[in-house]
Amino acid sequence: MSTNKRYLRFIAALALSGASCAVVAAEVPASFDPKNCKAEYPKASLMNEEQGTVSMAFLVSADGSVVDSKLEKTSGFKNLDKAAMKSLSACKFKPGTKDGAPAQTWTKVDYAWKLD
């Protein structure tokens, strides 16, 4: 095989591998400021001294509003889980991006309930 044919095959292989990489979009998930978005401790949970961390996922639109949410891992207490989901679903998020433009993205949030 001549050197030119090897060179052309090498260039073709690089072009094909580069094309497959270009299909993958750079995505940054949505985020929120926990200082400006807090859930109120449920009274029953306070009285029962319940604590734990709720893991949730939120689908955030390009305007920062929550479109969908799901519980990923429970705190072990239904009242804490419900309060976190309800409060954070009402929060305004910083939208995620795809290729630098605001876009609908999923983001994960862990919300820790701790008694002081």
Q: What are phi and psi of 82, to 5 degrees?
A: -65, -45
pLDDT at position 1, please? 52
Q: What are the counts of helices (DSSP H) followed by strands (DSSP E) for the chain? A: 3, 6
Is the pLDDT at 7 greater than 60? The verdict is no
Encoded tokens for 59: 């689908």
Q: How far is CA 113 from the centre of its chain?
A: 20
- For 43-57, what is the mean pLDDT? 97
Per the DSSP assignment, residues forming a β-bridge with 96 are 103
- pTM as predicted: 0.75
Note whether 109 and 56 are within 8 A (CB).
yes
Q: Which residue has the higher pLDDT, 1 or 98?
A: 98
